[in-house]
Structure 1
Amino acid sequence: MTLEEKVAQLLSVPVEALVEGKRLSREKAGELLKHGIGEVTRVSGSRLGLKPREAARLVNEIQRFLVEETRLGIPAIIHEESLSGLMAPTATNFPQSIGLASTWDPELVYRVASEIRRQALLVGARQCLAPVLDVCRDPRWGRTEETYGEDPYLVAAMGVAYVRGLQSDDLSRGVIATPKHFAAHGFPEGGRNIAQVHVGVRELREVFLYPFEAAVKEGGALSVMAAYHEIDGVPCHTNYWLLTEVLRGEWGFRGFVVSDYFAIRQLITVHRVAGDELEAAIQALEAGVDVELPGADCYKRLMNAVREGVISERAVEEAAAKVLRAKYLLGLFENPYVDEAAVPESLDSREARELALEAARKSIVLLKNDGVLPLNRDKLRAIAVIGPNAAEGRALLGDYTYTAHLALEELAVEAVSILEG
């Protein structure tokens, strides 16, 4: 492999940069994919609003270009979000993680993740950026709903079940799980997202690292996402001790580490530990971040870094090897394509909705009753439904559903409000 081809495996590209309308632009692909690419960011979960068959067709167009029009013919990993269901139009919406945790049922989480895998495979997604294994110890944090709660053992049990369900026993028919945000993201100063985390090593290991260790050792997670914040002044994306000594050295992790979206650039703009994109790329790669998401703003400069002698080509090779190994385990070299004829009009199904309903029912927690419930229909004349979101179905959707995450005006799914229900 040439240096350009090795670096390309560490890069990603948003699907919007590759298309004209809803189809692959050969001109854009020729520029952005000429040396190959590690990952393509969110085809089904993009703002293109693709129906399942349109998404599958576009994935095939991208993979066919990479296989037939590049020197080495290496397919890409297509990644999506899947915290409470595949983040795509027509996909099933499951309860948020905090709701699934309230079921105390890892086997149910396994079945939910298995159904997410089925839907992801239909549209060519082979990596999902989930589960969230942040142990939340501050309810002021606005992303509490994404977590399995405050107990590290419960978070670990649910996380392992999710990883196993998503990846399956045979990764050639599975989807890579990406536990995030590594690590201690759920314990920010003042409950503010991305704020500094101040924690001692013992508490860090016993509480916040424990679920990730279980996901790696017991679940076999093949990818991990680094977190935005700093731990005691050291950004997670430059933390060699965390990403290499602990994750790989102590736990034996053999997968690849991805950046959180735009987090490597934040080494310049937020953490101010790097002066430019080149410095940020070098710091992240040397710490143990293998792939930059969602684009290649910083890592595309690694070619110059090697040529100028400020980083070794060996460092690039080691990271590229991890990505290539994952592609091999996924079976992408044998078959990178989706069977478009098998893709339904809707990813959702009756069985999936029944599973979502089961999960929702089991997630309900009755904190206090005092003999009020169940209500007596014969004596009931009216029920007051109070609050600004009482008639808003959108409010029931998690922040990683397609509608909510992209802040769309129209709902991508039918959502029944509390008042309507």
Structure 2
Amino acid sequence: MKEQALKELLNSLTWEEKIGQLVQLSGDFFHADQLAVGPQKKLGIDQRIVDQVGSVLNVTGAEKTKEIQDRHMAKSRHKIPLLFMADIIYGYRTIFPIPLGLGATWNPDLIESAYQQTAEEAKAAGAHVTFAPMVDLVRDARWGRTLESTGEDPVLNAAFAKAMVTGLQKDLLNGGGIASCVKHFAAYGAAEGGREYNTVDMSERRLRQEYLPAYKAAVDAGCQLVMTSFNTYDGMPVTGNQFLLKEILRKEWGFDGVIISDYAAIQELIAHGVAADDREAAKLAIEATTDIDMKTPCYAKELEPLIENGEISTELVDRSVYRVLKLKNDLGLFEDPYRGASQALEEQAFLTEEKRRLAKKVSAESVVLLQNRNQVLPLAPNKEKVLLVGPYGDNQELIGLWAVHGQREDVVTIKKGFENYLDSDHLLYTQGCDMLEDYAFLGEFGATKDQIEQLGLDEQMKATELETALALAQQADTIVFALGEHTMQSGEAGSRTDITLPKIQQVFLQKMVELKKKTVLIVISGRPLVLTKEIEQVDAILQAWFPGTEGGNALADIVFGQTNPSGRLSMSFPYSVGQLPLYYSEFKTGRPLTSPTHKGRFVSKYLDSPNEPLFSFGFGLSYSKVEYSELTLNSEYMNESLTISVTVKNRSDRSAQETVQLYIQDVTGSVVRPIKELKAFQKVDLRADEEKKVTFHLTRADLKFYTKEMLFEEEPGKFIVFVGPNVKETLEATFDLK
């Protein structure tokens, strides 16, 4: 449909029809009229509004979406199709690692391919929009949604934001891909105390410098929608925050796509205490240019009275409606309301061999080797007896909480992966211990008392499993532990103050390591855990996140040396939870730990913990030793750009992927500057004994920051450049900016 025809359609709509386009309801309103009665009463929305609604939440599957679309179109006077939007966060049916694991790949090109494959599956299943990527910068591992972030750094997060949007929307306007809804705008990852739905309060300088760049990268990459976050910023909840939505997103960045609230966030303006009732909440949200009201009655019931009373302009609502209609038109829904979805296409698109291969590659690159004492890894296939133990050893719950459309039966377990390398004489297995000592918290997620009682091992089974594990361990040469968080302990509403391994697993691990066998710990988690005790107990540690559909195969390839681990942390691991929030790019302080003028107690430090993380940003080991040398700058001065090179040499007989990282420090600024800032990175392939020269080009734009006057510009002066395999182990050089 051409622009003029779209405007004519807008002008032909009644107010009821227009407002319907700005309302999103869940699938339980659409399956059949009689089934919708319950939700309608609860939300206070009558059937007339349901018949005019513009979009549906979390309904997928070609057959189901076509049925709902057909029924809706039959009732629509102007034949305006529904938009189907869904949580498709890190895979549809083929599940990739959680985004924190994707961040650990340091490979945006690979992740772009993964998201392109995800969009292919989701499109076949009738989805038009995905609520992804989440690009919130996170520095507090207590927050459950750490799982959905790619990490703590604005440059790295921005690179992944661009890659994910590009992958999802590949060839979008020609019928390919699905529309990307970037979330949660803005700064949701800084929720106080790492507590879900909590307040965010920070300076505008920090907001712009650290938290906004990834959202900006997503907008620049062409994302079609932006979702508001639940938090406040500067005292105003984001869904009604004109500074964030209207001034920055719309005016500064020129975003003219659809802004959608997060679930019930418009009505929650009342609970925040900035709106007295639904009408005032609707007014605040629409004036902030929030276009779609997800799952509340505020727009459905209150926009028309607001117009009639002259409290909001008709143009304001018309602009929102037009944005929604334009999105539908850009997706080609007026010509094909199904957008090509079909059951036949689902069968062709889901879980193909190509997608499984890609999933395994992504999973392998996401795994981080945190420790490898005495070079215990890799293990040699069928050369020794290996005992695999732990609640994740033969468990298909490797896809994490937000793999909404994934199916556990598709998942390759760690045991299954090990069986590719070990015959029955060399692989021993038992669960060994329970996942948790207490499953009662699952009641908050809808589990009944009876269901909870059936989840764990009873006391007799626990004793038997421990006895079996100890007996098998006596026969084994190496014990591989598959331990970690329960799926429901991370993700949305999964905030925790204790981010250690569950106590029952800690006790089990301690009893097993007392046997003095070689030990490998595989950690399954949705966040960095505190592993301070574990690094002393075991020889090797692999951080596997929730590794996805092909997780078991990818881990087995690493454990048995088929794949050389290349993952690098995109988020610091704390030594203690009391260090949180924790991040490498902290500001300089007047009394740093290494202060030349203050000693002992009176410097910035803890009395009972190191300042440093347990494992630093950018850290990760491999089975190869890569040496860095000859850090060279083409000039002592930068005018417009600077060329920086370093030599890396693989001093081993094994091929490796090395992530070369470049950081800077602005020595003196008009405001306090970070100790280090990531500015560039390259992932390079090195054959055995191969040497390569890696070159970076730093420009004046890379040195810009928000100055004392809140101008985004660079300032002349001295800079230190650091290049190395992680933020701590670097070569240094200096230059002056003219």
> Would you say same fold, with TM above 0.5?
yes
Residue 224 of structure 1 aligns to a residue whose secondary structure is strand
Report the Cα distance in structure 2 between the residues aligned to 1:172 and 1:297, rounded to whole angstroms.
Answer: 35
Residue 307 (structure 2) pairs with residue 306 (structure 1): yes
Q: Give the deviation of 1:63 after TM superposition.
A: 2.4
Report the Cα distance in structure 2 between the residues aligned to 1:339 and 1:143, rounded to whole angstroms.
Answer: 31
Q: Give the deviation of 1:106 after TM superposition.
A: 0.9
Instruction: Provide the residue aligned with 1:104 in structure 2.
Output: 106
Residue 325 (structure 2) pairs with residue 324 (structure 1): yes
Instruction: Provide the residue aligned with 1:226 in structure 2.
Output: 228
Report the Cα distance in structure 2 between the residues aligned to 1:263 and 1:314, rounded to whole angstroms.
Answer: 23
Residue 143 of structure 1 aligns to a residue whose secondary structure is helix
Q: Give the deviation of 1:403 after TM superposition.
A: 7.1
Q: Give the deviation of 1:416 after TM superposition.
A: 4.2
The equivalent position to 1:374 in structure 2, one of 362, 375, 378, is 378
Query: 2:137–2:211: 8 Å Cα contact kept in structure 1?
Result: yes
Query: 1:35–1:71: 8 Å Cα contact kept in structure 2?
Result: no
Residue 15 (structure 2) pairs with residue 10 (structure 1): no
Q: Give the deviation of 1:62 after TM superposition.
A: 2.6
Q: Give the deviation of 1:237 after TM superposition.
A: 0.8
More helix as a share of residues: 1
Instruction: Provide the residue aligned with 2:290 in structure 1.
Output: 289
The equivalent position to 1:385 in structure 2, one of 389, 403, 406, is 389
Residue 95 (structure 2) pairs with residue 75 (structure 1): no
Query: 2:129–2:180: 8 Å Cα contact kept in structure 1?
Result: yes
Q: Give the deviation of 1:34 after TM superposition.
A: 6.5
Residue 151 (structure 2) pairs with residue 155 (structure 1): no
Instruction: Provide the residue aligned with 1:407 in structure 2.
Output: none
Alignment-mate amino acid for residue 17 of structure 2: E
Q: Give the deviation of 1:363 after TM superposition.
A: 0.8
* 1:60-71 to 2 correspondences below 5 Å: 60-71=66-77
Query: 2:88–2:404: 8 Å Cα contact kept in structure 1?
Result: no
Instruction: Provide the residue aligned with 2:129 in structure 1.
Output: 127
Q: Deviations over 1:273-320 (max 9, x none)?
A: 112212111111111210011x24211121222123222222111111
Report the Cα distance in structure 1 between the residues aligned to 2:379 and 2:392, rounded to whole angstroms.
Answer: 23
Query: 2:158–2:214: 8 Å Cα contact kept in structure 1?
Result: yes
Query: 1:78–1:124: 8 Å Cα contact kept in structure 2?
Result: yes
Query: 1:134–1:184: 8 Å Cα contact kept in structure 2?
Result: yes
Report the Cα distance in structure 2 between the residues aligned to 1:12 and 1:179, rounded to whole angstroms.
Answer: 17
Query: 1:92–1:348: 8 Å Cα contact kept in structure 2?
Result: yes
- For normalisation by structure 1, the TM-score amounts to 0.87
Residue 63 (structure 2) pairs with residue 57 (structure 1): yes
Query: 1:24–1:58: 8 Å Cα contact kept in structure 2?
Result: no
More strand as a share of residues: 2
Residue 52 (structure 2) pairs with residue 36 (structure 1): yes
Report the Cα distance in structure 2 between the residues aligned to 1:339 and 1:144, rounded to whole angstroms.
Answer: 32
Report the Cα distance in structure 1 between the residues aligned to 2:215 and 2:128, rounded to whole angstroms.
Answer: 21
Report the Cα distance in structure 1 between the residues aligned to 2:36 and 2:144, rounded to whole angstroms.
Answer: 37
Structure 2 unaligned spans of 5+? 1-12, 418-738
* 1:112-261 to 2 correspondences below 5 Å: 112-173=114-175, 174-217=177-220, 219-261=221-263
Residue 40 of structure 1 aligns to a residue whose secondary structure is strand
Report the Cα distance in structure 1 between the residues aligned to 2:84 and 2:112, rounded to whole angstroms.
Answer: 22
The equivalent position to 1:415 in structure 2, one of 408, 411, 415, is 411
Q: Give the deviation of 1:339 after TM superposition.
A: 4.8
Alignment-mate amino acid for residue 414 of structure 1: D
Report the Cα distance in structure 1 between the residues aligned to 2:269 and 2:298, rounded to whole angstroms.
Answer: 10
Q: Give the deviation of 1:389 after TM superposition.
A: 4.5
Query: 1:12–1:292: 8 Å Cα contact kept in structure 2?
Result: yes
Residue 135 of structure 2 aligns to a residue whose secondary structure is coil
Query: 1:4–1:35: 8 Å Cα contact kept in structure 2?
Result: no
Residue 198 of structure 2 aligns to a residue whose secondary structure is coil
Q: Deviations over 1:323-346 (max 9, x none)?
A: 111111111111112453633447
Residue 344 (structure 2) pairs with residue 342 (structure 1): yes
Q: Give the deviation of 1:250 after TM superposition.
A: 0.5
Residue 315 of structure 1 aligns to a residue whose secondary structure is helix
Residue 374 (structure 2) pairs with residue 358 (structure 1): no
Alignment-mate amino acid for residue 368 of structure 1: Q
Query: 1:79–1:126: 8 Å Cα contact kept in structure 2?
Result: yes
Residues 339/200 of structure 1: CA separation in 2 closer, same or farther (3 Å cut)? closer
Query: 1:79–1:129: 8 Å Cα contact kept in structure 2?
Result: yes
Report the Cα distance in structure 2 between the residues aligned to 1:232 and 1:23, rounded to whole angstroms.
Answer: 42
Q: Give the deviation of 1:375 after TM superposition.
A: 2.0
Alignment-mate amino acid for residue 383 of structure 1: L
User: Quick check: 68-77 or 97-106, which moved more?
Assistant: 68-77
- For normalisation by structure 2, the TM-score amounts to 0.51
User: Quick check: 329-338 or 252-261, which moved more?
Assistant: 329-338
Report the Cα distance in structure 2 between the residues aligned to 1:62 and 1:403, rounded to whole angstroms.
Answer: 19
Residues 292/119 of structure 1: CA separation in 2 closer, same or farther (3 Å cut)? same
Q: Give the deviation of 1:24 after TM superposition.
A: 10
Q: Give the deviation of 1:9 after TM superposition.
A: 0.8
Report the Cα distance in structure 1 between the residues aligned to 2:377 and 2:33, rounded to whole angstroms.
Answer: 53
Query: 1:24–1:62: 8 Å Cα contact kept in structure 2?
Result: no
Report the Cα distance in structure 2 between the residues aligned to 1:21 and 1:304, rounded to whole angstroms.
Answer: 27
Residue 188 of structure 2 aligns to a residue whose secondary structure is coil
Report the Cα distance in structure 1 between the residues aligned to 2:399 and 2:307, rounded to whole angstroms.
Answer: 46
Report the Cα distance in structure 2 between the residues aligned to 1:34 and 1:11, rounded to whole angstroms.
Answer: 9
Report the Cα distance in structure 2 between the residues aligned to 1:111 and 1:105, rounded to whole angstroms.
Answer: 10
Report the Cα distance in structure 1 between the residues aligned to 2:274 and 2:161, rounded to whole angstroms.
Answer: 32
Residue 195 of structure 1 aligns to a residue whose secondary structure is coil
Report the Cα distance in structure 1 between the residues aligned to 2:383 and 2:343, rounded to whole angstroms.
Answer: 54
Residue 367 of structure 1 aligns to a residue whose secondary structure is strand
Q: Give the deviation of 1:102 after TM superposition.
A: 0.9
Q: Deviations over 1:103-149 (max 9, x none)?
A: 11111111111111111111221100000100011112111111000
Residues 214/109 of structure 1: CA separation in 2 closer, same or farther (3 Å cut)? same
Residues 154/2 of structure 1: CA separation in 2 closer, same or farther (3 Å cut)? same
Report the Cα distance in structure 1 between the residues aligned to 2:412 and 2:36, rounded to whole angstroms.
Answer: 36
Higher RCO (CA 8 Å, separation ≥ 6 residues): 1
Instruction: Please report the RMSD computed on the Cα atoms of aligned residues, expressed in angstroms.
Output: 2.5
Alignment-mate amino acid for residue 287 of structure 2: E
Residue 77 of structure 2 aligns to a residue whose secondary structure is coil
